[in-house]
Structure formats: structure tokens, C-alpha cells
Amino acid sequence: MSKINTAVITGQHAFDVPGFHGLFRSISEIDFYLQDLENFAADAGKVREQYDVLVFYNFHRQTPDEGRVREAIEQLGENQAGILVLHHAILAFPQWQLWSDLCGIQDRSFDFKVGQNLHVDVVDLQHPILRGWLRGKWWMRLISWRIRGTTAICC
């Protein structure tokens, strides 16, 4: 069985690089490619369309001007890649309607509570991102963020 090709897209927020690599290396079902948003957008290897999953872990505050970063983000959803907007990336591009639409949250101002239970209904049981996971309905224990009345899976 082939591995899940995963782009992990970062930028504008520091993180523990060895720890982050260790996290993704520990998931044997994936091949991950850590890259900043600018390299993802440049797509020098012409592989952007080959990813099964896009994990955003960026925290850009300015809406991108016209150019390849903006174009790359505007093209999200045109193929079958799953998109996971993780943790602080939900708050990226605070003035950009397209990012709010991508996150599914119109008002992304927030507060948070630790130890919440979150019910998750899996929409597409056949999507590659679910390989090896529980099927159907399940519960996660995590830090959930309340963003203007909407609970978001973010960490």
C-alpha cells in the first residue's frame, strides 16, 4: 500500500523543528514534506497536485498580494487533497475572506478551553487521510477553540 503524500506547510510562526519532524516521522503511513508557504506556492518540483493531504501550520498575518502564494491558496480544493488547518493556522490571514471560508469559520476571533470532548462525524470514509483510523463516528479529547460559537478541530 502506498503512503499518504502529505505537505506540511509552515511559516511566520516558530516551532520545535526536531520535535515536529519526529511527530510526522512517527506516522508510518505517511510521507511528509515540510515546507514553508512560499516554497509550497513556488512548487519548484511540480508536485503540488500529487499531495493527498495538505496540513497548514502557518501563521501569516497579512493577506497575500497578487502572486504565486495567493494563487496557490486560491487553487486549494481544485483537486482531491484533504486539507487540515492546524492550530494557529486557523487564525492566519485574519482579513482574508477566502481563508475564513477555507476554515469554515467566518469570525475567527477566539477564546479557548482545555479538555473538551469533540464529536466528529467522518464524511468520506474512503479518503486516504483516514487510512488506519477508526471508522464512522468517534470522539476526540483535545483542546478545543471556541471561535464565535463554532468549535474547531485545531490541536
- By mean pLDDT, which of 20-29, 118-127, 143-152 is the weakest? 143-152
pLDDT in tens, 92-137: 999 999 999 999 889 888 777 777 666 666 677 777 766 666 544 4
Domain with residue 70: its CATH number is: 3.40.50
Count of domains observed in the chain: 1
Cα–Cα dist 142/116, whole Å: 6
Confidence (pLDDT) at 140:
45
pLDDT band at residue 150 under the 50/70/90 scheme: very low
pLDDT at residue 4 is higher than 80? yes
Range of the domain at 38: 4-152
**Beta strand residue intervals within the chain, DSSP E:** 4-11, 30-36, 53-58, 82-85, 111-121, 137-147, 150-152
